[in-house]
């Protein structure tokens, strides 16, 4: 398998380099750098013994390879400023990797490691137009959240689009203040935590879906705190370290809310916490509290 993966990497080296350059140069795509380490970590920590299904695996691998080749050949026709070319080519490489895994280890192994396989989809960069729309949505949500925080705290405020008018100044929530990078990072964190600590699919989905309101609330709180400090303490707060480098403080607040929800979901009826015991390639799962061992 390693030889086939190496061949795929060499064949798509220009695409991989372009993807790496995008992740390093554009903060809105920096989460791409986390995908491969997370995939490797899950393949190692939740490793399964290969289950050989050569017949079905060859069929599945062939279908995935054909889809990958089709996406690769279609990519040049989508070239443009929106980045669809890179999106399609990275999608083609992911399909080829899936084909190689199915061909080498079998469909059973692929299904047993479905989470890290699907997590590879996060390597595919969204088109710039999609990122722009998501940014505007978060920008609007953050503005509304900050507006209601002012209202609840009794501060006179009016809102006109993305501009909040306070007694002594107007605050415009720019695209750079949408919080898209932190929200995407929270999403990846929630997906990983959900997979590791939760068993039921709907609870994992609920934890991931909670990221959007949590991200909006987190960013709205950031706008609120900075505006209050600038209005009632010193306008210099709008240009200080809390504004430009203090995002981690509010990210921790958002992460705390996600961890709180994770704790609630784990304590909910029918879920239960678990201890995973790994000996070699065998995994035993014991549901604490119910006394019911599950494999």
Q: Which positions ≥6 away from 157 have C-beta within 8 Å?
A: 147, 150, 151, 164, 165, 166
Query: Cβ distance 205 to 198 under 8 Å?
Result: no
Task: Pick 269 or 38 by higher pLDDT.
Answer: 38
Please give the pLDDT value at position 293: 34
Distance, in Å, from the CA atom of 287 to the CA atom of 264, rounded to the nearest integer, reads 16
- Pair 51, 78 in one domain: yes
Q: What are phi and psi of 164, to 5 degrees?
A: -105, 125
Q: At residue 160, does pLDDT exceed 60? A: yes
- Pair 156, 191 in one domain: yes
Q: At residue 131, does pLDDT exceed 60? A: yes
Task: Pick 58 or 247 by higher pLDDT.
Answer: 58
* Digit-coded pLDDT (tens) for 172-204: 888 877 788 889 999 999 999 999 998 888 999
Q: At residue 130, does pLDDT exceed 50? A: yes
Structural domain boundaries enclosing 212 = 130-274
- Pair 267, 159 in one domain: yes
Distance, in Å, from the CA atom of 269 to the CA atom of 161, rounded to the nearest integer, reads 43
Distance, in Å, from the CA atom of 249 to the CA atom of 85, rounded to the nearest integer, reads 37
> Across residues 93-111, what is the average pLDDT?
86
Task: Pick 173 or 50 by higher pLDDT.
Answer: 173
Give a yes or no: residue 110 inside a domain.
yes
Query: Cβ distance 166 to 156 under 8 Å?
Result: yes
Token code pair at residue 188? 């990846």
- Pair 262, 167 in one domain: yes
- Pair 143, 223 in one domain: yes
Q: At residue 285, does pLDDT exceed 70? A: no
* Digit-coded pLDDT (tens) for 138-148: 999 999 999 99
Q: Which positions ≥6 away from 35 have C-beta within 8 Å?
A: 119, 120, 122, 123
Percentage, residues of the chain above pLDDT 70: 79
> Across residues 124-130, what is the average pLDDT?
89
């Amino acid at each position: 398998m390693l030889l086939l993966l190496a061949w795929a990497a060499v064949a798509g080296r220009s695409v991989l380099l372009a993807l790496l350059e995008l992740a390093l140069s554009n903060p809105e795509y920096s989460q791409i750098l986390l995908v491969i380490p997370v995939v490797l970590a899950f393949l190692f920590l939740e490793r399964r013994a290969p289950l050989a299904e050569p017949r079905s695996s060859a069929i599945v691998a062939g279908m995935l390879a054909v889809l990958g080749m089709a996406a690769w050949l279609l990519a040049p026709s989508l070239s443009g400023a929106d980045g669809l070319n890179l999106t399609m080519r990275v999608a083609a490489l992911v399909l080829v990797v899936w084909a190689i895994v199915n061909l080498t280890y079998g469909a059973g192994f692929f299904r047993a490691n479905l989470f890290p396989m699907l997590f590879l989809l996060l390597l595919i960069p969204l088109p710039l137009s999609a990122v722009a729309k998501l940014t505007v949505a978060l920008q609007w949500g953050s503005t509304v959240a900050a507006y209601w925080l002012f209202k609840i705290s009794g501060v006179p405020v009016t809102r006109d689009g993305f501009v909040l008018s306070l007694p002594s100044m107007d605050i415009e929530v720019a695209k750079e203040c949408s919080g898209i990078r932190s929200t995407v990072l929270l999403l990846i964190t929630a997906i990983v935590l959900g997979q590791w600590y939760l068993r039921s699919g709907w609870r994992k989905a609920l934890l991931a879906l909670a990221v959007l309101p949590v991200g909006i609330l987190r960013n709205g709180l950031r706008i609120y705190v900075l505006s209050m400090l600038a209005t009632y303490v010193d306008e210099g707060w709008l240009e200080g370290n809390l504004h430009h480098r203090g995002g981690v403080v509010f990210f921790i607040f958002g992460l705390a809310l996600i961890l709180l929800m994770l704790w609630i979901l784990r304590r909910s009826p029918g879920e239960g916490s678990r201890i995973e015991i790994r000996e070699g390639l065998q995994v035993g799962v014991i549901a604490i509290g119910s006394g019911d061992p599950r494999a």
